[in-house]
């Protein structure tokens, strides 16, 4: 079955009780028990909910894992995954990781004596050099946020497995439509489902998929224990959004490629970062492990002031945090996604004051380019 068909026909498209072509929203906190000596599948919605389970089963199928878990946000998902580690453990995290992940790694989990080393995941040898006797996992994003840096998943997974390390991949930018790291040997996949999976800027959610039952038990223990679960209303919104993932991303990718190519030719733009461009570093590696370039790009203006001017004058795109909606969203990483990262570390990673991230939407591309041209010309 092709992936686009799986989005529609995955075993969770029809309500088994009524035949409805939409899974019901089970707005319930607790469930009547017919026999106290025979526990039912559902007893309390922190532990399980039918609408949430349909979503969890769907994302597990799409990612190729054994079980999925739905959380109240992408950071709830990330923090829950990091909570499987213990005091004294060491983790290697890609150096240009999402700002929220950087924040919890350096200001929360360090308090529990979980040590984190940020390493250049674009260089597999750098990962290898940072492995210690107490290293337990490698945490990756590819393409990374916001510079779209590419990680050679196969090479790093091979290095990790030689040392019996878990490999965790934040697959938010690509979604399972374009990249399925479990197929390459990864152990845990994380999504900010707020983004492309939801796709309409109307839900905050996180998803986790694991490759085996042992990991599933560990993650479920955290999900049920902490209780940072996704509610049934938001679970239903995600189930609906996922059905149109392919058609949205196909069009958004096309727009992104056109916009990136146009930006490359503008004298006010000093650099463009997009895996679809021939000159993008790591492009061949990316295309060997993914089925497309995605719909997020970043660019640097000729000056810091021009970046601020662009953000003030762009009209069609929303100026906002987040990404992956039907509308184009431009964000200013130094003040938004990576504001929690110290300036010196941001600049070392190339996240400078003239960097703008673009999540390309479903607008007519000619209108979008005209709007960008006006904003850059002011």
Residues involved in catalysis: 46, 98, 170, 195
CA distance linking residue 314 with residue 16, whole number of Å = 48
Rounded (5°) CA angle 115-120-126: 85
CA distance linking residue 30 with residue 48, whole number of Å = 10
User: H/E element holding 335?
Assistant: none
CA distance linking residue 275 with residue 292, whole number of Å = 8
CA distance linking residue 378 with residue 376, whole number of Å = 6
Nearest CA-CA partner of 168 in 139, 192, 191: 139
CA distance linking residue 356 with residue 353, whole number of Å = 8
CA distance to 7, 66, 183, 247, 269, per residue, from 57 (Å): 12, 9, 17, 21, 44
Angle separating helix axes 232-243 and 245-264, nearest 10 degrees: 70
What is 238-304 written as a DSSP string?
A: HHHHHHTHHHHHHHHHHHHHHHHHHHHT-TTEEEEE-TTSTTSTTHHHHHHH-SS--SEEEEEESSH
- Determine phi and psi for 162, rounding to 5 degrees: -65, -25
Close Cβ partners of 62 (under 8 Å, ≥ 6 residues apart): 3, 6, 7, 10, 176, 177, 242
Angle separating helix axes 365-377 and 304-313, nearest 10 degrees: 130
Rounded (5°) CA angle 119-124-125: 85
Tokens of 159: 């290095």
CA distance linking residue 74 with residue 266, whole number of Å = 35
């Amino acid at each position: 079955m092709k992936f686009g068909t799986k989005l529609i026909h995955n075993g969770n498209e029809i309500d088994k009780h009524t035949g409805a072509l939409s899974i019901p929203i089970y707005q319930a906190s607790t469930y009547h028990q017919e026999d106290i000596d025979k526990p039912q599948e559902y007893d309390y919605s922190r532990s399980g909910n039918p609408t949430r389970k349909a979503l969890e089963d769907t994302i597990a199928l799409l990612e190729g894992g054994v079980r999925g878990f739905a959380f109240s946000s992408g950071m709830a998902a990330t923090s829950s995954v990091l909570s499987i580690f213990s005091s004294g453990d060491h983790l290697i995290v890609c150096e240009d990781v999402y700002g929220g992940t950087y924040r919890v790694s350096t200001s929360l989990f360090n308090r529990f004596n979980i040590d984190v080393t940020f390493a250049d995941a674009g260089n597999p040898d750098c990962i290898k050099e940072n492995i210690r006797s107490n290293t337990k996992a490698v945490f990756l994003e590819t393409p990374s946020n916001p510079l779209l840096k590419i990680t050679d998943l196969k090479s790093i997974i091979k290095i990790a497995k030689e040392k019996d390390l878990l490999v965790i991949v934040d697959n938010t930018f690509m979604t399972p439509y374009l990249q399925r790291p479990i197929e390459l040997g990864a152990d845990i996949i994380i999504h900010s489902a707020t983004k492309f999976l939801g796709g309409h800027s109307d839900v905050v959610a996180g998803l986790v998929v694991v490759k085996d039952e042992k990991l599933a038990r560990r993650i479920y223990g955290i999900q049920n224990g902490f209780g940072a679960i996704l509610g049934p209303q938001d679970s239903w919104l995600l189930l609906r959004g996922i059905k149109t993932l392919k058609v949205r991303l196909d069009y958004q990718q096309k727009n992104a490629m056109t916009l990136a190519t146009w930006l490359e030719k503008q004298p006010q733009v000093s650099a463009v970062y997009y895996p679809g461009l021939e000159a993008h570093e790591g492009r061949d590696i990316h295309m060997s492990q993914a089925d497309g370039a995605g719909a997020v790009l970043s660019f640097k203006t000729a000056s810091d002031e021009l970046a601020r001017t662009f953000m003030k004058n762009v009209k069609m795109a929303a100026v906002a945090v987040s990404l992956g909606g039907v509308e184009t969203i431009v964000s200013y990483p130094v003040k938004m996604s990576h504001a929690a990262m110290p300036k010196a570390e941001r600049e070392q990673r190339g996240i400078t004051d003239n960097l703008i991230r673009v999540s390309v939407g479903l607008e007519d591309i000619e209108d979008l380019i005209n709007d960008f041209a006006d904003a850059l010309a002011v």
